[in-house]
Structure 1
């Protein structure tokens, strides 16, 4: 079995490594794909801005040429002013965009990272750009300095702009087309990379399927078969051990019931009146496994065995006064084994009628004591086992009750509740009633149906509030207190002293709610209370639920002595059982005429 385990262990470790490598490969492919896609998206945004801006450069260069021509032909001052402003604005935008396309501009969202091809194209049109920019700047500067500057003075610059514009436009066209081609190339490359990563991911998945999942499934199937076989062997061995244990238990019980036959009382030793040993019997020496060194005094020896000195002194005084003593002692022999002796100490007199010696007459009852101890241990284990079985059965019964309550509550809410709601809508849709009697009947039926729907909802809530699984014990107890106050003469208040908001295990919340429900029902039925307070508080270790009322109270000790709380069906018995089921502690404080307080402490860990 050990060899088999050693051979299987590397296989599981190998599969685990394959699985981890495959997961890392898939994660890496996903991360790389996302990085590339995000990078492409950012580049696409930059490319679209660049293409748009480079196209705008063509338009601005044409606008500059147009404005320059108009300035040479227009003599109307107002028109000339507007054209000059248009030329100045177009020149500024044209220069900023030209610079941004080559070096980048954060305000425009352009990185300025161009390929060598585009940089070469910009270099080719740079002389034309400079000539046009210089000529346009001189025209703007001359007109701003003297608006009446003759056309002849700026005609040379106008002609320079007109000559350079076609070459500049042709160069910008090549740049725009190159930007577009590079953007399409990036899209194609991204598609190829995505396809490559998809192939890798599919390959990794196929690798997992062939070398991880299929071998794992086979290994798990084989392991499951071995576990089933081991379970069968274990069940068989358990049955055999149970039979052996039962036989052993019965043997001990029979040994106890037969009442082990004790040896007759035998003289074990003779001592002086003060307890000094004078003679030892062979049986005593063999039982205690004495060697050459033997005890000198009986009372000193018993004191060394752990008996009280004052008690031994009283026995010594009894012997001196001529009174015998009998009892049981438990000592340890030199081998370290326990020995139980039934002892008679009998004083003897000399011819002068004085106590001069003492006889130690004993019988060995070690075997009987050991049988009794084993029997008591067996009975204790049997009782503990029965208690645990009873607690387990009680837990199953409570869980079954909760499931049945949930089912009934769900059926009432989803079944009967929906039918009643549909009937209510149908009744409310009836308007063609002729007589006053029929109208009154219809009105009464509607009111009665509303009461029935409200009662169904109340019963459904009491059986299993849906909010308990959704929101937890605190909101449900708060709502429970309000609902009880509405439908009864009892004033029920809820207080969350420490602001407890955490969720608990489902069975804990269910049982705390049932305990509160049971305590409030007891206050209504038996305590004749007018006010009930439900309080929740907590610390780092425990949650405390306290339900107190101002009812008539009762004599707790008297009812406990009568066994009134020892059977199921009684409210306080159910409360204690539910508290035990969730490992909680239940404390009940009550006196006649002083009300009742039930406190439940539940561990939070």
Structure 2
């Protein structure tokens, strides 16, 4: 486990430990319940055994009173009491020997008790016979003389002492056997306690400690992946900054450009009078040559008003310079750097327009190709970087889910099992041990609560089961309990369907980051999270009433462009789900973060 911990092995050890704990608890409960049942029977038996002594003495007393009384009313009263005592005494004696459901007695007499009952059986039968004779005689004649029942009374008195002595021995034997059972149960409880403690030690050394090492190692790997993510984010920022430099480099592409030459001549109104061979070849004019310069440029797509301004410049002897993009007769683009120079006559009037130009097509095509190559290369790097960042974020979420699942399903369940095991321990003798046991139970409850809190913060299981709304509700309640900050959540969406998993995960992480920032820096008393939507966008808004901050200063310090800062992480997560993040803050007026996500 310490060298190569696996979840499957952890589950197997967990099941073994849980079965051992469950077995010890079940055995302990069976023994306790059995002991309680036997104790109830033993208590009943000892009670009835002691009652037998009282009844035998009552029988003797009533017999003597019947012999002394002469009045019929007194004899009837004593006879009735005598009969009831005899009936109870006889039935209880049989019940103690053989068991009796009516008396709630189960016959579990040991051989010693059975032997003691045999010793007093003759005395019991003698008393029963004598008592029955007295009852029979008095029922026939309530005024029967005392001499007629004196022999039976003497018989009862004679055997009472031996019966009482034997009954005392039976009661003492019942008591000794009950004490022996208690002593045996204490030994068994101690044995089960040792087994339970052994199971707990097994769990600590073979499950909890290796699991803690595994989680610690996983957290370390997660931190390393986060550092890689930060590094890649910085590289992405540098790529964006180098994009501008790449465009600057494109301007330095060295392509030979020919010298300016006369391409054509025109009249004052723009009608062509001459085409150079180079111009005709470049534009591939054959029989379909253009008639007018300005009409030709208008046909090429240039606006008439712009061309009219050029025409208006010519009579004043002003030269127009610029680049034009035209299409030759084969449909290819041609870039020309053109100077339209007017020539004046002796009278100062405009006579000719000289079109002096050079072909820049190769240079423009080279610049376009170079720019496209650089743009594709940069876009490729940016996409690769974004893809890596997305994979890292998804990997982090999966790792959080795995750690959360392992803590909840593995360590959480084992801690619960240990809690049940500790609560099943009852055989504690001293106050110090009781206090230690109580302290251990309280500590274990706090550990279970903390494990559940960490598991929820990593990735709440309800996020994948029920969605973002229930989880944000629970998140706000938990934060309000654990901090002085009052966090509330308002759902204004009324969605009937779930969002994508990555959208819900990132929305939850954004809320976590924003609330943590409010706790650490804003000195806010209340934070409100609102989820709403319209036909096109889902809106998440987190606002607080804290002290706010100066947006410009944070931008200058790089809080919005460097990883490791909460606001930067919020923007990155919003971009990851194609969302638009807007942050409003002003000193003394709190902060509001708004995330808009398109609903496709």
Normalising TM by the smaller chain, what interval?
0.5 to 0.7
Give the alignment of 1:401-480 within 5 angstroms: 401-422=396-417, 424-425=419-420, 429=425, 432=428, 434=430, 446-480=441-475
- CA shift, 1:600, in A, is 2.9
Give the alignment of 1:51-130 within 5 angstroms: none
Question: Aligned residue for 1:577?
Answer: 572
Residue of structure 1 aligned with 2:328, choices 333, 336, 339:
333
Question: Aligned residue for 1:499?
Answer: 494
> Which secondary structure does the structure 1 equivalent of 2:255 belong to?
coil
Question: Aligned residue for 2:485?
Answer: 490
Question: Aligned residue for 2:379?
Answer: 384
Residue of structure 2 aligned with 1:286, choices 273, 281, 301:
281
Cα distance per residue 1:10-33 (max 9 Å; x no partner): xxxxxxxxxxxxxxxxxxxxxxxx
Residue of structure 2 aligned with 1:590, choices 585, 588, 591:
585
- Does the 8 Å CA contact 2:463/2:471 hold for their aligned counterparts? yes
Q: Within 1, Cα distance between the matches of 2:318 and 2:497? A: 73
> Which secondary structure does the structure 2 equivalent of 1:458 belong to?
helix
Q: Within 1, Cα distance between the matches of 2:343 and 2:516? A: 76
The structure-2 alpha-carbon separation of the partners of 1:500 and 1:296, relative to structure 1 and needing over 3 Å to count, comes to closer
1:508 aligns with 2:503: yes
Question: Aligned residue for 2:11?
Answer: none
| Structure 2 portions without partners, runs of 5+ | 1-248
Q: Within 1, Cα distance between the matches of 2:598 and 2:260? A: 58
The structure-2 alpha-carbon separation of the partners of 1:470 and 1:311, relative to structure 1 and needing over 3 Å to count, comes to closer
- Does the 8 Å CA contact 1:550/1:595 hold for their aligned counterparts? yes
1:396 aligns with 2:396: no
1:356 aligns with 2:355: no
Q: Within 2, Cα distance between the matches of 1:387 and 1:397? A: 15
- Does the 8 Å CA contact 1:256/1:375 hold for their aligned counterparts? no
Cα distance per residue 1:493-545 (max 9 Å; x no partner): 12222433533332222222212111211111122221111222345554433
- Does the 8 Å CA contact 2:253/2:366 hold for their aligned counterparts? no
Question: Aligned residue for 2:513?
Answer: 518
- CA shift, 1:378, in A, is 2.6
- CA shift, 1:420, in A, is 4.1
> Which secondary structure does the structure 2 equivalent of 1:526 belong to?
helix
| Deviates most, 439-448 or 476-485 | 439-448
Q: Within 2, Cα distance between the matches of 1:430 and 1:569? A: 52
Q: Within 1, Cα distance between the matches of 2:437 and 2:402? A: 33
Q: Within 2, Cα distance between the matches of 1:562 and 1:329? A: 46
Q: Within 1, Cα distance between the matches of 2:531 and 2:522? A: 22
Q: Within 1, Cα distance between the matches of 2:543 and 2:465? A: 27
Q: How many residues align?
A: 352
1:302 aligns with 2:304: no
RMSD: 3.1
Q: Which has the higher contact order (CA 8 A, sep 6+)?
A: 2
Cα distance per residue 1:394-428 (max 9 Å; x no partner): 11101111121122223333444345445545665
The structure-2 alpha-carbon separation of the partners of 1:589 and 1:431, relative to structure 1 and needing over 3 Å to count, comes to farther
- CA shift, 1:354, in A, is 5.1
Q: Within 1, Cα distance between the matches of 2:253 and 2:505? A: 52
- CA shift, 1:341, in A, is 0.6
Question: Aligned residue for 2:14?
Answer: none
1:269 aligns with 2:264: yes
Question: Aligned residue for 2:53?
Answer: none
Give the alignment of 1:36-55 within 5 angstroms: none
Residue of structure 1 aligned with 2:530, choices 527, 531, 535:
535
Residue of structure 2 aligned with 1:549, choices 540, 544, 549:
544
- Does the 8 Å CA contact 2:462/2:471 hold for their aligned counterparts? yes
- Does the 8 Å CA contact 1:256/1:371 hold for their aligned counterparts? no
| Structure 1 portions without partners, runs of 5+ | 1-253
> Which secondary structure does the structure 1 equivalent of 2:329 belong to?
coil
Q: Within 1, Cα distance between the matches of 2:359 and 2:397? A: 59
> Which secondary structure does the structure 1 equivalent of 2:280 belong to?
helix
> Which secondary structure does the structure 1 equivalent of 2:397 belong to?
helix
- Does the 8 Å CA contact 1:268/1:362 hold for their aligned counterparts? yes
- CA shift, 1:265, in A, is 1.2
Question: Aligned residue for 2:97?
Answer: none
